[in-house]
């Protein structure tokens, strides 16, 4: 089994915000895999299916970003999965808009959703895909992450969604090392 979780905030008003890039990536992957979010369980929306003979869950927590750990804690406890069977997709203000960074493990940095996940799980050894959303030091961080992308940035994000889906498919097919080698490219 593999569980891929995209972080974001529920509700129409947050759909296109910078902080919801994790939801957008997971939505794009669900579309590619022809899965739909038909279940509400574990304080999240779940798209369930099979990929190459293995059960796959795509998850969007509905707890709001700063409480994302509740959903992951419930999933991990219910399915008894290890870190190798989990991947989390989320935004990163320390990366340029559209930059992808895959990692095998790590800390939370300034991301409160990841901070909550690490606190609730009690371990940090699971893959993650960070999507760059950049930052503007003139705007308070909480306001910035809840802002939308400019028209120019949104064009970059559309391409990024496609790359992120390809990176996740490579992760599913060949593992985290292959995905990191292919998509952690400095530009």
Higher pLDDT, 137 or 23: 23
Contact 176, 47 (CB under 8 A): no
- The per-residue pLDDT for range 67-103, each reduced to its tens digit, is 999 999 999 999 999 999 999 999 999 999 999 999 9
- CATH number (domain holding residue 81): 3.40.50.1470
Contact 172, 51 (CB under 8 A): yes
> Against a cut of 0.85, is the pTM above it?
yes
- The per-residue pLDDT for range 20-51, each reduced to its tens digit, is 999 999 999 999 999 999 999 999 999 999 99
Q: How far apart are alpha carbons 132 and 100 in whole angstroms?
A: 6
Position 185 scores a pLDDT of 77
Contact 7, 90 (CB under 8 A): yes
Position 186 scores a pLDDT of 65
For residue 32, give its domain range. 2-183
Structural domain tally of the chain? 1
pLDDT at 187 over 60: no
> Which are the catalytic amino acids?
19
pLDDT at 14 over 70: yes
């Amino acid at each position: 089994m593999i569980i891929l979780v995209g972080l974001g905030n529920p509700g129409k008003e947050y759909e296109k915000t910078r902080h919801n890039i994790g939801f957008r990536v997971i939505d794009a992957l669900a579309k590619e895999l022809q899965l739909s979010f038909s279940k509400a369980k574990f304080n999240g929306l779940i798209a369930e299916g099979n990929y190459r003979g293995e059960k796959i869950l795509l998850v969007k927590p509905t707890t709001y970003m700063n409480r994302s750990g509740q959903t992951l804690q419930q999933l991990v406890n219910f399915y008894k999965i290890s870190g190798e069977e989990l991947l989390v997709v989320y935004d990163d203000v320390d990366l340029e808009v559209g930059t992808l960074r895959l990692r095998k493990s790590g800390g939370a940095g300034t991301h409160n959703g990841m901070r909550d996940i690490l606190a609730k799980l009690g371990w940090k050894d699971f893959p993650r895909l960070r999507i760059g959303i950049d930052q503007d030091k003139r705007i308070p961080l909480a306001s910035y992450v809840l802002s939308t992308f400019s028209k120019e940035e949104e064009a970059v994000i559309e391409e990024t969604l496609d790359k992120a889906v390809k990176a996740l498919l490579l992760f599913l097919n060949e593992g985290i090392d292959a995905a990191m080698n292919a998509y952690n490219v400095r530009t």
